[in-house]
Amino acid sequence: MKAKGGAAGGERRPVLSRTILLLCACSFGLGMLFTDRFGAMPDLKSPVVAQRRRQEEELQVVSEDFVAKTKPSDDRDVMGEVAKTHEAIQYLDKSIATLQMELAARRSRHELLESADGVRQERKKAFVVIGINTAFSSKKRRDSVRETWMPQGEKLKKLEEEKGVVIRFMIGHSPASNSALDQAIDVEDAIHHDFLRLDHVEGYHKLSAKTKTFFSTAVASWDADFYVKVDDDVHVNLGMLLTTLGRHKLKPRVYIGCMKSGPVLSDILNITALLQKFEIP
């Protein structure tokens, strides 16, 4: 009886051992499977993880900065500037057209008056008429201009006849008729023959009116491509001026100088003596 019971217990031990080994193998396999699939959880305090996180944050900042810099400008601002520029160009075109119509009307009026009086004269052809603004007290300035850039005598006459370049000192008359000032200019003109006398009363606060009188007188006397106004304290590079004007000869409606725009003050009470001297084209 004892021998039989011992034999039965000996048969159960190998079965139990195999079962334990099989369970261990399955547990090991499942552990390897889950470890390969999910990976080990990183240590947040590890230097490698911290460095990688800083790199990702830097890349994100650079990316956001690039997007901000490449953001297109506001289309409304661009369109607003374009509209303002277009309006300014239209205003200048309208002003120039108005001046042209006024000049044409003045020419027509002048021609009609000459025809009615029977004293119509043919205007002389010229390339440029240069008017040098001067005053009664500016003889030293005029002499300086004559000694530097303005030809004298036969050279001045030859320049006008061959090149169509007319140069004159422009001056009006004194408030008193035939005063000593007027007589001094007459004597100077008899020597140099380089004055253009204007129907204008000289005065420091009447420079704008004098400028307009010069242009109307020059247009009535010469049919020129250009009309130029300078001051007697300016020394002109005549060769450079003629070269520059020659480049613009074939262009219509050429204006070189200071162009003012905006409202024009018409009430003399609102115009100070300082503002009156400035030229308004």
Reported as a single tens digit per residue, the pLDDT across 34-58 is: 655 544 555 555 665 666 677 676 6
Query: What are residue 197's DSSP bridge partners?
Result: 171
- pLDDT tier at 274 (50, 70, 90 boundaries)? very low
Looking at residue 270, what DSSP letter applies? G
| H or E stretch covering 273 | helix 273-276
In this structure, of 91-95, 108-112, 151-155, the range with the lowest mean pLDDT score is 108-112
- Beta-strand ranges (E) seen in 105-231 are 124-133, 165-173, 195-201, 222-231
Q: Is residue 28 left, alpha or beta, with left meaning phi > 0 and alpha meaning psi from -120 to 50?
A: alpha
Residue 278 has pLDDT above 50, yes or no: no
Per-residue model confidence (pLDDT) at position 160: 95
Backbone φ and ψ of 133, nearest 5°: -70, 125
The two most distant CA atoms of the chain are separated, in Å, by 172
Question: What would the mean pLDDT of 122-133 be, rounded to a whole number?
Answer: 94
Q: Half-sphere exposure of 86 toward its Cβ, with a 13 Å CA cutoff?
A: 6
Residue 96 has pLDDT above 80, yes or no: no
In this structure, of 63-67, 83-87, 184-188, 202-206, the range with the lowest mean pLDDT score is 63-67
Q: How far is CA 193 from the centre of its chain?
A: 42
Mean pLDDT for the chain overall: 77
- pLDDT tier at 256 (50, 70, 90 boundaries)? confident
- pLDDT tier at 270 (50, 70, 90 boundaries)? low
115 or 237: which leads in pLDDT: 237
Share of the chain above pLDDT 90, in %: 40
- pLDDT tier at 25 (50, 70, 90 boundaries)? confident
At 157-204, the pLDDT tens digits run 999 999 999 999 999 999 988 899 999 999 999 999 999 999 999 988
What's the pTM?
0.54
- Say if residues 149 and 237 touch (Cβ distance below 8 Å): yes
Per-residue model confidence (pLDDT) at position 151: 95
- Say if residues 101 and 253 touch (Cβ distance below 8 Å): no
Backbone φ and ψ of 179, nearest 5°: -80, 180
Per-residue model confidence (pLDDT) at position 1: 44
- pLDDT tier at 3 (50, 70, 90 boundaries)? very low
Per-residue model confidence (pLDDT) at position 205: 82
